[in-house]
């Protein structure tokens, strides 16, 4: 029987001072995955100024005290936690995956790695 395996990693680029600043270059190495695993599916989820963030959408609307029904629907849509882009196939070597990413200031990223195996 083949089973679906999942590994997830959450990382963030947070600052107490909510002011503009440079993005962070991330170099991530995941080790300890099955040594025979050569390919897996990677899905990236992102919360930043333009992904999964109803608060930023509300500010772009002018911060309405009482949003209209249409604005409320837009805010619900803006706050959905959905993949940022599609899933991609990634290559592993000896149970290790190396990734690079750029993460904007005040952002959170969730990486979900999945594969089928015994």
Sign of CA dihedral 25, 111, 53, 84: positive
User: HSE on the CB side for 86, CA within 13 Å?
Assistant: 2
Domains of the chain, earliest start first: 3-9+24-113 (2.60.40.1500)
Mean pLDDT for the chain overall: 91
Name the range with the highest mean pLDDT among 9-13, 72-76, 112-116.
Answer: 72-76
Position 42 scores a pLDDT of 96
What CA–CA distance (Å, rounded) separates 49 from 113?
24
pLDDT tens for each residue of 2-37: 668 889 999 999 988 888 899 999 999 999 999 999
Position 3 scores a pLDDT of 65
Percent of the chain with pLDDT over 70: 97
- Collapse the DSSP code of 21 into the 3-class scheme (helix H, G, I; strand E, B; otherwise coil) and give the result: coil
- The greatest distance separating any two alpha carbons of the chain, rounded to the nearest whole angstrom, comes to 56
Q: Which is it for strands 39-47 and 88-91: parallel, antiparallel or unpaired?
A: antiparallel
What CA–CA distance (Å, rounded) separates 78 from 33?
34
Asked if residues 60 and 21 have their Cβ atoms less than 8 Å apart, the reply is no
| Count of helices and strands (H, E) across the chain | 2, 6
**Bridge partners (DSSP) listed for residue 102:** 25
């Amino acid at each position: 029987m083949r089973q679906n395996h999942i590994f997830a990693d959450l990382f963030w680029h947070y600052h107490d001072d909510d002011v503009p600043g440079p993005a962070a270059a991330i170099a991530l190495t995941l080790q300890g995955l099955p040594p025979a695993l050569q390919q897996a599916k990677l899905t990236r989820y992102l919360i930043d100024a333009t992904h999964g963030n109803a608060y930023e959408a509300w500010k772009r609307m002018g911060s309405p005290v009482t949003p209209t029904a249409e604005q409320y629907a837009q805010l619900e849509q803006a706050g959905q936690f959905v993949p940022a882009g599609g899933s991609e196939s990634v290559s592993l070597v000896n149970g290790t995956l190396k990734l690079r990413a750029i993460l904007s200031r005040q952002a959170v990223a969730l990486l979900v790695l999945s594969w089928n195996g015994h």
